[in-house]
Structures are given as structure tokens and as C-alpha cells.
Chain A
Amino acid sequence: QKEVEQNSGPLSVPEGAIASLNCTYSDRGSQSFFWYRQYSGKSPELIMFIYSNGDKEDGRFTAQLNKASQYVSLLIRDSQPSDSATYLCAVSESGGTSYGKLTFGQGTILTVHP
């Protein structure tokens, strides 16, 4: 059974702080890694994706991947109350031409308080 594990939280950080969200996965064949944000009652929204070891930055968001440790993380700098949501880590075993099936973690609830 391929698994993706996240700390369900809630993770509470003050406004302006760095929020660190972590995810581990069991399948060493995993090729592609995604972070989705889901507001309550809304659909998952893609935040970041990464498929190479190291860091990938996009604005206030940084995704970090360590395939040897089977670990992927998302850092949110200068956290804002509008960042309060559930963050879903998703992993795909397919690389190359298709991302294929996504296996999701259970999500981490992030609360940013003023």
C-alpha cells in the first residue's frame, strides 16, 4: 500500500512567520510531488510541484524535495491569515509524459493568526 503521510495539525503560526509543512511517502518509485491548498468547502488548488531533489521557489512558497529520505516539504514565508487552509501533499509514481495517479496525504490544517 503506497502511503503519503502528513501531520494533520492544526499547525498554528503568527502572521509574518514561516510555516513549515512536511510530508513523507513510502514509494521509492515516486517521481512527481505536489502541494495543493484547499480552503474549507472549496476544491484543491495547485500551489507548487517539484520533481528534482533540492528547492523550488515561487513567491512566498518554497518546495523542498529529498528523494533519499522520501521527504517533501513546503515553506510559506511571511504567512498571512489568507494562507489559513488545509495543505495537501500529493505524490505520483509517473514521471515523463504523464503524472498519472495522485496519492494524497490526509492534509495539514494551517492557521495563521494575526
Chain B
Amino acid sequence: DTAVSQTPKYLVTQMGNDKSIKCEQNLGHDTMYWYKQDSKKFLKIMFSYNNKELIINETVPNRFSPKSPDKAHLNLHINSLELGDSAVYFCASSAQGRPQHFGDGTRLSIL
């Protein structure tokens, strides 16, 4: 059973399009996160939700909009995709007071 699952695994799209990435965790965790890993492998947090409430919102263009319909799901919608958005996006989750566990990542390529 996959603990933190993301879909799609790969996403290739044109500049200017709008796309969404979905994340689900079956660990019963109460906090979920989105991270971006760039071409230099630097991993940086974007957003975090705790029990559906946004608790971390880093300096991210407002083209990126997270949404948590319930504490097991966290989606990321990206409007007007740009070349610089090409990266691997990781979802992670954690329980109260416990380390974060990562999903397999979504590899986004903008043409």
C-alpha cells in the first residue's frame, strides 16, 4: 500500500496551460506539504496544510493555489504555466510531532 501517493507521476504540457497535481495519504497524518525540487536538486517548501487549514505559505507566485478538501488530500493547481515551473513537485505528510514522509513526486515539464 502506497503511503503518500501523487498523480500524475509525469506531466508534460505547454507553456500557458493550467494543470493540477493531486496527493493522497493513507497514514492518518494531520499535516500535508508541497515541496518543489529544482534542476539542481534543491528542495524547497511551498505550502503546508494542517487539518485542511493553510499554515505555511512561502513566497510562491499566486499562479500556484493549493487546496485541501480533507486532511487526507492536498491538491496543487498551477495557472498559466511558465518554463521556470519545470521541476519535480513532492507531496509529504506528517503526524503531530513526527517526521515527514514523501510521495514519489510529479515530474512537470513545460514545453
Interface residues of A (CB under 8 A from B): 34, 36, 38, 42-46, 49, 86, 88, 96-104, 106-107
B105 contacts A by Cβ under 8 Å: yes
Q: Given known contacts A100-B56, A101-B56, A106-B40, is B99 in contact with A46 (CB within 8 Å)?
A: yes
Residues from chain A with a CB closer than 8 A to the CB of B43 are: 44, 88, 104, 107
Interface residues of B (CB under 8 A from A): 31, 40-45, 48, 50, 55-56, 90, 94, 96-105
Residues from chain B with a CB closer than 8 A to the CB of A97 are: 96-97
Residues from chain A with a CB closer than 8 A to the CB of B100 are: 34, 46, 99, 102
Nearest CB of B to A96, in Å: 7
Residues from chain A with a CB closer than 8 A to the CB of B90 are: 43-44
A36 to B94, alpha carbons, bound, how many Å?
15
Residues from chain A with a CB closer than 8 A to the CB of B56 are: 100-101
- CB of B45 within 8 A of CB of A101, answer yes
Nearest CB of B to A7, in Å: 14
Nearest CB of A to B79, in Å: 24
Nearest CB of A to B31, in Å: 7
Given contacts A44-B102, A101-B56, A103-B45, 19 further A-B contacts (CB under 8 A): A34-B99, A38-B41, A43-B103, A44-B43, A86-B41, A96-B97, A98-B31, A98-B96, A99-B94, A99-B98, A100-B48, A100-B55, A101-B45, A101-B48, A102-B45, A104-B42, A106-B40, A106-B41, A106-B42
Q: Given known contacts A43-B90, A86-B41, A106-B41, is B105 in contact with A99 (CB within 8 Å)?
A: no
Nearest CB of A to B35, in Å: 8
A9 to B31, alpha carbons, bound, how many Å?
33
Residues from chain A with a CB closer than 8 A to the CB of B44 are: 104
A97 to B97, alpha carbons, bound, how many Å?
4
Nearest CB of B to A51, in Å: 10
